[in-house]
Structure 1
């Protein structure tokens, strides 16, 4: 009989309570059975604050009350590019009203372009992206970007619409040095997911090595993309500790330093 793989728990890293999870989907059904326990584990692993991402106004209206007893959780709200055909005038007006009414909503996201799935025509995605960028600028809110197989067009729309040196965060960064340079040169930030711990991600690891410390954030994108040694399992915010550990190895700093630096960067980016 094969031995069961023994995986270290994130609490074993003994990180201080200064880390920040910049992108989670804890409102999804994957967490319906143990959401409270997952939030407790995040704190035990050193995560002081979390950003939960609501994919559209329906998700926000349905799920915001899940976090009524958790002031450490703030929110993003945005229509994902794969749902861009649902961004009607009514939906956009609802989003505007929610942003005005709820101080826990800290930015527009995740918004952008996704040419991988081809679920929505590119022109409709682009139109929805620009409309949400306009809303972010109107309200003075940060923007969190989803870009998959669409980096050239995403960069073009951001720069054409005057978002250079605006608070923009490139969510779930998985590319190499060229895109990292473009993001940094435009004055934007980069969020590193658990994929940085995987083998055969040399381009991503090379980019992380060169991205300035002050532009780095960490995320899980849970329940997806669990880092090693939990790859293939459900991801959750406590596992962010292992992403921090790998980034620390790449950057030649202690994991405590990276934990604090990326946490401070996230709090500053989201105005917390």
Structure 2
């Protein structure tokens, strides 16, 4: 009986050869299993060239429970907002808690991820609409940038943002997965699109066309870890170090060097979130 050949392990993220200075704009490091090894995860990210990481807290309670995980990790900045799945928890108390946190903690750089999710009915759609509008109102009142979650709800998400006066305000479309038409809608309003690891999936042809067409000045990168792991680690827990593979694929689609995508998207993220990059970036 012939012996089975051992599978060749995927290359490590640092094999992409990216310099320090990359920015991971959307990570959930307070979620299992990443929360048990935050320091090791961030160290691996640094080895792959990721110098700044946006940690997303899904509401004020998650923020209060998880912020101490990053007490000694200055490369991490915060994003905080109530996800559409938890829309029914948006009320006067939660909005007041969010407003207070934004006032007290300079590490919180944006409100998110907020928006609409019609893919799953884990929260009533009407409640999602109300929660979205109430958080947008707070963001507008406090002049806070927003990070948008929109799944199977792009048309209505755009309508609400337009109705709330967010054209030409700081908006980042998290986990962009649409085609060229949605990309154009986002760019035409002066917003940013955040590209996740799903761009490495061969069947995402419309998304790949959109990434080819998006102006580079309107693009940032994310993992959405522990979800949406890019090839060649698809099927495993995602983490910020794997952002390197997303950058490499975007570079391949656009026929440029990965380092060019890495630097440009980092500079875009730094400008959007108001963070500084390392001196050597």
Per the normalisation by structure 1, the TM-score is 0.98
Choose from 102, 111, 114 the match for 1:111.
114
Equivalent residue number for residue 61 of structure 1: 64
* Unaligned runs of at least 5 residues, structure 2: 276-281
Equivalent residue number for residue 159 of structure 1: 162
Residues of 2 paired with 1:62 and 1:88: CA distance?
19
2:36 pairs with 1:33: yes
Report deviation, 1:6: 1.7
Equivalent residue number for residue 179 of structure 2: 176
Residues of 2 paired with 1:131 and 1:51: CA distance?
23
Residues of 1 paired with 2:269 and 2:136: CA distance?
20
Report deviation, 1:148: 0.4
Report deviation, 1:199: 1.2
1:42-75 superposed Cα distances (whole Å, 9 cap, x missing partner) = 1111011010000011100000010000111000
Residues of 1 paired with 2:79 and 2:211: CA distance?
25
Q: Where does 1:193-232 land on structure 2 (aligned, <5 Å)?
A: 193-232=196-235
Residues of 1 paired with 2:259 and 2:35: CA distance?
31
Q: Where does 1:35-54 land on structure 2 (aligned, <5 Å)?
A: 35-54=38-57
2:126 pairs with 1:123: yes
Q: Secondary structure at the match of 2:88?
A: helix
Equivalent residue number for residue 265 of structure 2: 262
Q: Where does 1:92-111 land on structure 2 (aligned, <5 Å)?
A: 92-111=95-114
Residues of 1 paired with 2:264 and 2:110: CA distance?
21
Report deviation, 1:32: 3.0
Choose from 132, 138, 142 the match for 2:145.
142
Residues of 2 paired with 1:63 and 1:207: CA distance?
35
Q: Secondary structure at the match of 2:123?
A: coil
* Unaligned runs of at least 5 residues, structure 1: none
Residues of 1 paired with 2:30 and 2:56: CA distance?
8
Residues of 1 paired with 2:35 and 2:60: CA distance?
20
Report deviation, 1:2: 4.2
Q: Which one is further off, 187-196 or 26-35?
A: 26-35
Report deviation, 1:29: 2.2
Report deviation, 1:5: 3.5
CA RMSD of aligned residues (A): 0.8
1:244-267 superposed Cα distances (whole Å, 9 cap, x missing partner) = 000001111100000000000001
Residues of 1 paired with 2:29 and 2:219: CA distance?
22
Report deviation, 1:41: 0.7
4+ runs deviating over 6 angstroms: none
